[in-house]
Structure 1
């Protein structure tokens, strides 16, 4: 086994402990607290508290049963709080995400470029991810756009995958000749 792998595996327990005990914003608490219903104490604190825990133990079964039911109710409340916090966090994240979406409006006859998501980054790092000069032939509600290009003909795409093609008027007249309107 290599030296770096051995070092990594020896630190894995510490990394997992740190992750499980760290406060997570979406759930509003640490994963440890969500599972066990109480905050996590570091091992140094535990040694001191064990002695006091033995002193405070109560072996009366009715009292212990009542305490256990109360603890289970508290744990359920914590889980419900975490569930509500996740919902709130998702709403806030959605608002932030929606605010940063570029709203593009397309009209029939405009020239557009299509985002090529299948292009592999490493095959050519400097290649443009925008390809296929196309013309808008129809605009549907909810962001669906029908475009036409020489290679594929008419097809529908999500409007988020398109951007306006900006060119000077001379070049646009030349492309008008090349991209005849199919209708």
Structure 2
């Protein structure tokens, strides 16, 4: 994974300031920590089982999976060989959110498809008749207008995301909690496999909210000050109405005194 980031990210796009990834073991290890420290990268992890925390990447993955399903055929083991074709199809397809193709936003022009060369299209035929100096001038004009087109695409994307957010908020009721509140946690799939009798409760706890983050993520702690997960989205929590819980700071102080 370190080699992949070095060759495909660092050497192609430069040193990133932040990277957001899920909690997979490929991203949470000593080598990744050393890589991030060496290049001064702020590596952030999304809360577990919360795809919305890295929505753009998940949306891209969903689209690629749909394309691969239509191209790999019966032999699904060679999906990695078709991945480049799927990426090419994605890059040259007009996106609703940006009102442009990813290819045009990177290179400032529409991609020339192989079939347009094999069976010359009107665009290729007209380009062949334009003098080289005129082609160069037109290309420079396209490059000069890239910033404006990218800005327009960014504005279209923000408007699209705002519309999607309003539509989602009409149908959802987000759960919000404050620091110090007691909550129960969904056992499955957050806390691993559900052990015990078949009709045992699906909720475990109580846990106390030790830290509340932006975006509805929370850090939990039990009575011993231990964290069951690194962070968790509020969708997998519900308020606990039982008896009061001992204060975490007091519990930790007692543990230090006893040791």
Q: TM-score category by the smaller chain? A: 0.5 to 0.7
Q: TM-score, normalised by structure 2?
A: 0.41
The correspondence for 2:120, drawn from 48, 52, 69, is 48
Using a 3 Å threshold, how does the CA distance of structure 1 residues 69 and 42 change in structure 2: closer, same or farther?
A: closer
Which digits, 9 at most, give the CA deviation of each residue in 1:2-47, with x for residues without a partner?
xx58743543332222121223233222212222333345422234
Which digits, 9 at most, give the CA deviation of each residue in 1:78-121, with x for residues without a partner?
21111112221232233344441335699xxx996344685014
Residue 92 of structure 2 contacts residue 111 of structure 2 at CA under 8 Å; is this kept in 1?
yes
Partner residue of 1:12? 83
Structure 1's consecutive aligned runs of 4 or more residues displaced over 6 angstroms after TM superposition are 180-183
Cα root mean square deviation, aligned: 4.8
Aligned counterparts of 1:112 and 1:21: Cα–Cα separation in 2: 47
Q: TM-score, normalised by structure 1?
A: 0.54
Partner residue of 1:68? 139
Structure-to-structure mapping, 1:162-181, within 5 angstroms: 162-164=237-239, 179=243
**Residue 208 of structure 2 corresponds to residue 130 of structure 1:** no
Which digits, 9 at most, give the CA deviation of each residue in 1:60-87, with x for residues without a partner?
x4x5554233212333322111111222
Residue 113 of structure 1 contacts residue 164 of structure 1 at CA under 8 Å; is this kept in 2?
yes
The correspondence for 2:160, drawn from 89, 114, 124, is 89
Partner residue of 1:22? 93
Aligned counterparts of 2:115 and 2:154: Cα–Cα separation in 1: 31
Partner residue of 1:139? none
Residue ranges of structure 1 left out of the alignment (5+ in a row): 136-141, 144-150, 167-174
Partner residue of 1:58? 131
Aligned counterparts of 1:114 and 1:72: Cα–Cα separation in 2: 53
Partner residue of 1:119? 191
Using a 3 Å threshold, how does the CA distance of structure 1 residues 80 and 134 change in structure 2: closer, same or farther?
A: closer
Residue ranges of structure 2 left out of the alignment (5+ in a row): 1-74, 209-213, 217-221, 226-231, 248-259
Structure-to-structure mapping, 1:97-108, within 5 angstroms: 97-99=168-170, 100-102=172-174
